[in-house]
Structure 1
Amino acid sequence: MPCGEYFTSYESRMGLFRWRIQRIALVAALPIPFLLPFVLGGGTTSLLTQMYIIAVAVLGLNVILGYAGEIVLAQGAFMAIGAYTTSRMLTTGAGLVPSLIVAGLMASLVAVLFGLPSFRVKGFYVAISTLALQFISEWFFTNDRAEFIHGGTQQTLPTEIGLVGDIAPVGGGQSVYFLALVAMLVFVMLSLNLSRSGIGRTFRAVHENDLAAAVLGINVFKNKLFAFAIGGFMIGVSGGLFGFEIGFISPDFFTLSLTLEHYVMLLFGGLGRVWGALLGVGVVDLLNDFLRDVFSAVASDATALIPVVFGVIIIVVLAVEPKGVLAALGQVKEYLRKWPYAY
């Protein structure tokens, strides 16, 4: 506890920003991302927009895997469902926000359906059921006979659309940037408050020991499905934003490799930690872009080594600090707080 600051109630002890320095840092740092598009180039703004969108998807994965402990291998499928649903909804003239909400609900519904096996099995077996969804998704969105449902394997999304109907049209780099930023901030606050609520603590109890949680009276199956629903909604919204941002969707964007990439981000930052998920997205995405430029300059086929580099990074991180880089940074902070008085 910082010197001179004391808790006088449980509300202050459980507050989202408990220390004065945290509140000062929030006030000082919050305007920065809103000012970045005015000082950065279009390429950097587009990169940040994609990072915000990916962050929403990784936060959804964090709810399912980090909070509830359910292994999901259908991240690409959930994003594909969100992207194609958004594309179909935009053709109705509903607007972007209603389309994203419907996309999130559709992905949430599918996540719950494929989470039903968690009633009888857990762990690796649940992962296999979600892996089956990934294969079904890739088959479905490439099947021309199902075009009357998904609208076509490859689709072009409108470059400008109203937020609700024709009201407040958005399109172009800066408007999509701010939309993705607001969406990320909303889901960050949702994830942070979820982890501090009774629902979040129930998820963690199920994660740690579902048998002990059941003995304590927790409905394990219901809470697992609830985690699938929340995480699926967030991932579906991310998929819709991703499709609208790039203006084009194809099943090739939502393969199993996308799931593995998001796992790298989450494990790197720290499983079950909101700030760790954001840290992992930022570092891995920037490092991926940097390595792509470096390897492309060396040789045209050298970019194939990028997954090898990330594999080595994950092995090193898990060997040094299994809880992720954020946990390691927390240990450094605690050490500096006590230094030079070790007691």
Structure 2
Amino acid sequence: MPSGEYFTDYASRMGLFRWRIQKVALLFGLPIPFLLPFAVGGGTLSLFSRMYIFAIAVLGLNVILGYAGEIVLAQGAFMAIGAYATSRMLGAGAGLLPAITVGGILAAAVAVAFGLPSFRVKGFYIAISTLALQFISEWFFNNSRADWIHGGSQQRIASEVGLVGPIGKVGTDLHIYYIGLVGMLFFAMLSLNLSRTGIGRTFRAVHENDLAAAVLGINVFKNKLLAFAIGGFMIGVSGGLYAFYIGFISPAYFTLALTLEHYVMLLFGGLGHVWGALIGVGVVTLLQDVLRNILQSVSAATGLNATALVPVFFGSIIIIVLAVEPKGVLAALGQLKEYLRNWPYAY
């Protein structure tokens, strides 16, 4: 507790922003992303829009894996369900907000269905169950006989749609940026508050030791399915926003590689922490973009295809970071904060 600050009630003790320095940082930091579009170009704006959309998906993965401890290897499948459902709803004229909501609900329903094996199995066995969903989704969305359900494997999204029905037309890069930003802030606040509720504490208990949680009277199976539903909804919404962002959807965008990329983001930032998920998405996305630009310059200068080395350099950096700090960047920042708080003393 910072010197000179103390709590007189439980409400202030449990607040999201408890210290004066946090409130000052919020006051000066929150306007920055809203003012950012007026200071950067279109390419950078698009990069940040993708970052916000992926942050929603990684926050959903954090609920399932970081909070409840359930390994999920179907991140791409959940996003694909949300994307194709959003495309169908937009084609029916429902508007963007109802479309991504329906996409999130369908993704949550499928997540719960493939979370049912958690009644009998856990750990890597439940991971295999969700990995099966990934393969099934890729087959399903590539299957032309199922076009009457998903609308076709290759679909173009309308560049301008209403927020609700025909009301409030959106479609510019600036619109997508602010929709992604508001969506990320909403789900980040939802995740932060979820971790402080009884549901969040129950998820943590199931994560740490589901047998001990069951002995204490917690319905482990019910809470695992609830985590699948909440996380699946968030990932499905992210898939719908991603479809509107790129303007075109294909099963090739929602493969196992996307799942692994989101895992890297979450583990890099810090598993089980909202701020860790957000930091991981931001750092990994910017790192990928910087590496790609550098290697493109090398390719132009040498005539070699240096951009093929992006995964090699990127993977090497991730391995080094995780070897130095296995708990992620957030844990390293926490250690730095404690060091600076005690400096120049040794205690």
TM-score between the two structures when normalised by the length of structure 1:
0.98
- 1:93 shift after superposition: 1.0
- Which one-letter code corresponds to 1:93 in the other structure? G
Aligned length: 343
- Which one-letter code corresponds to 2:212 in the other structure? A
- 1:272 shift after superposition: 0.4
Q: What is the DSSP-based 3-state SS (H/G/I as helix, E as strand, rest coil) of the residue aligned with 1:168?
A: strand
C-alpha distance in 2, partners of 1:85/1:124? 29
What's the counterpart of residue 122 of structure 2?
A: 122
- 1:230 shift after superposition: 0.4
Does the alignment pair 1:312 with 2:316? Answer: yes
C-alpha distance in 2, partners of 1:207/1:306? 35
- 1:232 shift after superposition: 0.3
Does the alignment pair 1:341 with 2:340? Answer: no
Following superposition of structure 1 onto structure 2, how do residues 1-343 of structure 1 map, counting pairs within 5 Å? 1-299=1-299, 301-343=305-347
C-alpha distance in 2, partners of 1:316/1:291? 16
- Which one-letter code corresponds to 2:138 in the other structure? E
- 1:302 shift after superposition: 2.4
- 1:314 shift after superposition: 2.9
C-alpha distance in 2, partners of 1:301/1:140? 34
Question: For residues 97-116 of structure 1, what are the alpha-carbon distances to aligned partners after superposition, in whole Å with 9 as ceiling and x for unaligned?
Answer: 00010000000000000000
C-alpha distance in 2, partners of 1:70/1:312? 27
- Which one-letter code corresponds to 1:145 in the other structure? R
C-alpha distance in 2, partners of 1:3/1:69? 36
- 2:291 touches 2:314 (CA, 8 Å); kept in 1? no
- Which one-letter code corresponds to 1:279 in the other structure? I
Q: What is the DSSP-based 3-state SS (H/G/I as helix, E as strand, rest coil) of the residue aligned with 1:169?
A: strand
- 1:176 shift after superposition: 1.0
Q: Percent identity?
A: 76
Question: For residues 247-283 of structure 1, what are the alpha-carbon distances to aligned partners after superposition, in whole Å with 9 as ceiling and x for unaligned?
Answer: 1000000000000000000000000010111111011
Question: For residues 228-248 of structure 1, what are the alpha-carbon distances to aligned partners after superposition, in whole Å with 9 as ceiling and x for unaligned?
Answer: 000000000000000001110
Q: What is the DSSP-based 3-state SS (H/G/I as helix, E as strand, rest coil) of the residue aligned with 2:327?
A: coil
Question: For residues 184-216 of structure 1, what are the alpha-carbon distances to aligned partners after superposition, in whole Å with 9 as ceiling and x for unaligned?
Answer: 000000000001111111101100111111111
- Which one-letter code corresponds to 2:165 in the other structure? G
- Which one-letter code corresponds to 2:260 in the other structure? L
- 1:224 shift after superposition: 0.5
- 1:267 touches 1:314 (CA, 8 Å); kept in 2? no
- 1:293 shift after superposition: 1.4
- 2:78 touches 2:236 (CA, 8 Å); kept in 1? yes
- Which one-letter code corresponds to 2:231 in the other structure? G
Q: What is the DSSP-based 3-state SS (H/G/I as helix, E as strand, rest coil) of the residue aligned with 1:5?
A: coil
C-alpha distance in 1, partners of 2:193/2:199? 10
RMSD between aligned residues: 0.9
Which residues of structure 1 form unaligned runs of 5+? Answer: none
- 2:7 touches 2:13 (CA, 8 Å); kept in 1? yes
- 1:119 shift after superposition: 0.3
The ranges of structure 1 where at least 4 consecutive aligned residues each deviate by more than 6 angstroms after the TM superposition are none
Question: Which moves more between the two structures, 181-190 or 318-327?
Answer: 318-327
Q: What is the DSSP-based 3-state SS (H/G/I as helix, E as strand, rest coil) of the residue aligned with 2:168?
A: strand
C-alpha distance in 1, partners of 2:248/2:342? 52
Which residues of structure 2 form unaligned runs of 5+? Answer: none
- 1:321 shift after superposition: 1.6
